[in-house]
Chains A and B, each alone.
With several copies, the nearest count.
Chain A
Amino acid sequence: MSTQLSPVPNVAPDGELSTELLKRMHELMVKSRVLEERLIQMYKQGDGYFWIGGPGEEAFNVPLGLLIQKGQGVQFDYCHFHYRNSGTLLAMGADPIDALRQMKNTASDPYSGGRNFCGHYSLRKWNVVPVSSPIEVQYSMAPGTALAQKRAGGTGITIVTGGDAGTAEGDFATCLVWCSRPANPLPLLMIVTNNKWGISTSADGQHGEKNVSDRGKAFGIRCKTIDGNDPEVSYREIAAAMEYVRTERKPFLLEAVLSRLYGHSSASGANRALDEADCLVGFEKKLEQRKLLDRKAADELRAHYTQELQEAHRRVHVEPQPDGKTIYDHIFSTKDLVRGEG
């Protein structure tokens, strides 16, 4: 069941990231942007009923995925994600075609067998717990996996992600309360991706907090608000936060301010927002200035993945849908899978 422990990069907040890492991040950001564009296209072509995802969040989600200790069981990181973490999954090594399968709700969709919306990942082999549509519930569940990890010892931690508007739900407070109990502080990295919107509702009128992350202070939880549109900042800050949580076995609340590039979801049209900063454009500009990337290479990279996903789409297009009779499958489990049975 176990997978190799990926080394925990120990980067000081001001430390330089290697050229190789920067390039790896850039490639993954391109890859996940292209994936989202393909998913949106599928929706607009009627190859799927609903799209939701994370275009604009790549600068944060990709580093997050690279830093996760991927594997199964308490010695690895548990991931309680929401519906915008496709970049994280790709960085963890997921094959983008599987995202297309969930988009097209084919029987071959490895995350839900065509039962759930796109972006609703679930992979036991990597501790990715089923993403569910109800906002914020993952924050109430996360303390449970973190409790198991605290008891087990080691460096495995629990990571939970969600948006800014969702922090108004009681579950966010539940997570703050449960992970900071003096009786048993938990190795839990609480992440809030703040895109300043909840569907059509602007954050301005709704949040008395200056920073969402300020809410951790009263509980003695370490917290920080960072520029989630900068992949280098994101990588360093996530690494530092994880380092703290892994070694101190205490919680950390990290807020990343970032962009929402295609609106909330297909329900709001999934059209490109022109007033939002594009982290990919910004990062490429930097890399070009530093001579780590030239336009041509960047265009080729994009073309390469566009092509790859086009072919993937063609394949998925003809894959069979689940049969109606299967709705009764897997209501009850005969095996205790999470306890190592089969």
Chain B
Amino acid sequence: MANMVQAIRMALHVAEERHQVTDIFGEDVGPPLGGAFTATQGLKKTWNSPLDERGIVGASIGLALAGCRNVAEIQFCDYAFNTIDLLKLGGMMHWSSNGDWNCPMTIMTPVGSGIRGSIYHSHSFDTTATHIPGYKIAIPSTPRDAYGLLLSCIVDPNPCFFLVPKALMRVRCAPGEEIPGEPGDDRALSKMIDAPLGDRSKWQPQWPDTPDLFVPIGEAKTVRQGAGLTVVSYGRTLPLCAKAAEALAGEGVDAEVIDLRTLWPYDWEAVKASVRKTGRLLVVNEDTEVTNFGEHLIRRTVSELFYELQAAPRLLAGAHVPGVGLADNLEMASVPQLQGISQAMRELAAEQP
């Protein structure tokens, strides 16, 4: 069963074969490495760019304006912070030209903690991305969603951010969540599409025949039904929320867990319906907590559903510190972990005025 990196690779293969993607580029994206996380191994349209994020974003915009669907990778989102002005411009090409131009590019970048990446390989990008108008923003938590969301981003005529949770890169599809057409056996798939170690110059991948599966942008997925409280999350923290919910069910805490999947546009109808039902909202993400996208969701919730709330809506997010420290204890204390999530769910479920 495919893991997220393999799912991304297969989606990129489908995109370059059937959806006219002309360029998949960035630092170490092309041969021999095929990406810092191997997401771009064995593809035809990949190439290695100079070590220059401004050039990468600029070239992505230029290619898009010239009608070339492209996927530009920023090796870690931590290294996109010198390009925010260019990203803003990419997001306003259509608007500032009053509808004359559009900019079909996809910026793909790994986000978040979970690999002991220390101060500069653990940043989140959800707050920054949602504050840049003009982008569609996807952040999958399963390989299948990664496959389907990436394809949706690529064929979209607008600029898109495709944010890949580092911690979930090697997580495999859950049974029933496979990508149609992929071999069920992990080793078989690996033999087909994972580049061998050592000399790869003669290696050719064998791509399984996977379909055009488009996960719609703007559609959340309810991963667990529940009546006691609503938990909205995405990316690395989503599986932790689902796990906590299962564990707490025994204690009588009946949580509904929503995987937002896309941050803009986001599925407000799904969130609203759930909060109407439960009257309690917990938003979980790992970006630093001050001026955090979760706070937008809470603001919208109180402005539209205030009188239906049975408890104060909560945010569980990253600590407001300059970075995620390297040592185990430091990373654990900086971003939400299973225990803290369970604790927050328990408290919110039990909260009485």
Residues of A within 8 A of B (CB): 49-50, 73-74, 78, 105-107, 109, 111-117, 122-124, 129-130, 132-137, 139-149, 151, 158, 165-166, 168-171, 174, 177-178, 181, 183, 198-201, 205-206, 267, 321-341
Q: Is the CB of B321 within 8 A of A328?
A: yes
The docked-state distance in angstroms from the alpha carbon of A128 to that of B87 is 19
Contact with A along B90-107 (1 / 0, CB 8 A): 000111111111111000
Residue B211 interfacial (CB < 8 Å): no
Docked complex: B8-47 residues within 8 A CB-CB of A: 20, 22-23, 27-28, 32-33, 36, 47
Q: Is B50 on the interface with A (CB-CB < 8 A)?
A: yes
Q: Are B50 and A144 in contact (CB under 8 A)?
A: no
Q: Which residues of B contact A (CB under 8 A)?
A: 20, 22-23, 27-28, 32-33, 36, 47-48, 50-55, 57-69, 78-79, 82, 85-86, 89, 93-104, 116, 118-121, 133-134, 136, 157-158, 319, 321-323, 325-330, 332-334
**Are A206 and B48 within 8 A (Cβ)?**
yes
A113 to B327, CA, bound (A): 9
B264's nearest neighbour on chain A, judged by CB, is A332
Pick from B28, B59, B157: contact of A178, CB below 8 A.
B59
Which of B22, B98, B330 is within 8 Å of A324, CB to CB? B330
Q: B66, A200: Cβ atoms under 8 Å?
A: no
Shortest CB distance B245–A (Å) = 25
* Distance to closest chain B CB from A94 (angstroms): 14
Residues of B within 8 A of A74 (CB): 66-67
A328–B36 alpha-carbon span in the complex (Å): 31
Chain A nearest CB: distance from B173 CB in Å?
26
**Nearest-CB residue, chain A, relative to B133:** A331
Q: Is the CB of A333 within 8 A of B157?
A: yes
**Residues of chain A contacted by B82 (CB below 8 angstroms):** 134, 170
Contacts of B62 in A (CB 8 A): 78, 141-148, 158
The chain B residue sitting closest to A173, CB to CB, is B52
Partner of A177 from B55, B61, B99, B333 at Cβ < 8 Å = B55
For A337, the chain B residues whose CB sits under 8 A away are 100-102, 157
B-side contacts of A165, CB under 8 Å: 50-51
A339: B residues at CB distance < 8 A: 20, 67, 69, 104, 157
Contact A327 B68 (CB under 8 A): no
Chain A residues near B104 (CB, 8 Å)? Answer: 336, 338-339
Whether B326 lies near A327 (C-beta < 8 A) is no
On whether A206 and B54 interact (CB within 8 A), knowing A105-B326, A134-B120, the answer reads no
8 other A-B residue contacts (CB within 8 Å) besides A134-B79, A144-B65: A49-B326, A144-B62, A181-B50, A329-B95, A329-B99, A331-B133, A337-B100, A341-B157
CB-based contact A50/B118 at 8 Å: yes
B48 touches A201 (CB 8 A): yes
Asked if A332 and B158 sit within 8 Å, CB to CB, the answer is yes
CA distance A178 to B25 in the complex (A): 13
Which residues of the other chain, B, contact A116 by a CB distance below 8 angstroms?
96, 118-119, 325-326
What is the bound-complex CA distance between A336 and B330, given in angstroms? 26
Q: Is the CB of B66 within 8 A of A338?
A: yes
Determine whether the beta carbon of B157 is less than 8 Å from that of A117.
Answer: no
CA–CA, A112 and B94, complex, Å? 10
CB-CB < 8 A to A169: which residues of B?
51-54
Query: When A and B form their complex, which 9 residue pairs have the shortest distance between CB atoms, in order from nearest?
Result: A144-B62, A140-B58, A324-B333, A113-B98, A148-B66, A133-B120, A200-B33, A168-B50, A336-B157
Asked if A117 contacts B65 (CB within 8 A), the reply is: no
In the complex, chain B residues whose CB is within 8 Å of the CB of A144: 58-66, 68
Say whether B59 contacts A168, CB under 8 Å: no
A122 touches B101 (CB 8 A): yes
- Classify the interface of chain A: helix, strand, loop or mixed: loop
- Do B61 and A134 touch (CB < 8 A)? no
Q: Contacts A170-B54, A171-B58, A338-B67 known; A134 to B94 CB distance under 8 Å?
A: no
Q: How far is the CB of B107 from chain A (nearest CB, A)?
A: 13
A145 to B70, CA, bound (A): 12
The distance from the CB of B109 to the nearest CB of chain A, in whole angstroms, is 14
A111 with B97: CB separation less than 8 A: yes
Task: For the complex, give the distance between the alpha carbons of A331 and B323 in Å.
Answer: 10
Complex A-B: 16 CB contacts under 8 Å: A49-B116, A105-B325, A106-B327, A117-B326, A122-B101, A132-B119, A137-B86, A141-B58, A143-B62, A148-B22, A165-B50, A205-B48, A327-B325, A327-B334, A328-B321, A338-B64
Tell me if A130 and B330 are in contact (CB < 8 A). Answer: no
Q: Is the pair B120, A199 in contact by a Cβ cutoff of 8 Å? A: no
Closest residue on chain A to residue B90 by CB atoms: A141
List the A side residues contacting B28 at CB < 8 Å. Answer: 198-201
CA distance A331 to B20 in the complex (A): 24
Known: A73-B67, A130-B93, A322-B329. A115 touches B59 (CB 8 A): no
Chain B residues, CB < 8 A from A205: 48
Centre residue among A115, A117, A170, A341 by max chain B CB count within 10 A: A115
Q: Are A130 and B120 in contact (CB under 8 A)?
A: no
Q: Are A122 and B27 in contact (CB under 8 A)?
A: no
Whether the pair A137, B59 counts as a contact (CB closer than 8 A) is no
- From residue A108, how far is it (CB to closest CB) to chain B in Å? 11
Residue contact A206 to B66, C-beta cutoff 8 Å: no
Residue of A nearest to B120 (CB): A133
Is A115 a contact partner of B96 (Cβ separation < 8 A)? yes
B residues less than 8 Å from A199 (CB atoms): 27-28, 33, 36
CB distance from B23 to the nearest CB of A (A): 7
Report chain A residues within 8 Å CB of B64: 144, 338
Alpha-carbon separation in the docked complex, A136 to B52 (Å): 10
Instruction: Out of A140, A142, A325, A330, name the residue touching B99 (CB < 8 Å).
Output: A330
Determine the residue in chain A with the shortest Cβ distance to B70. A144
Structural contact, A174 and B52, CB atoms closer than 8 A:
yes
A101 to B85, alpha carbons, bound, how many Å?
A: 27
What's the Cα separation between A324 and B48 when bound, in Å?
Answer: 39
Q: Which of A129, A171, A333 contacts B65 (CB 8 A)?
A: A129
The complex places the Cα of A123 from the Cα of B321 at a distance, in Å, of 22
Nearest opposing residue in chain B for A106, CB measure: B327
Closest Cβ–Cβ distance, residue A41 to chain B (whole Å): 18
Report yes or no: A132 in contact with B120, Cβ–Cβ below 8 A: yes
Closest chain B residue to A207, Cβ basis: B50
Asked if A124 contacts B100 (CB within 8 A), the reply is yes
Contacts of A166 in B (CB 8 A): 51
Chain A residues, Cβ within 8 Å of B36: 199, 267
- Nearest Cβ on chain A to B21's Cβ, whole angstroms: 12
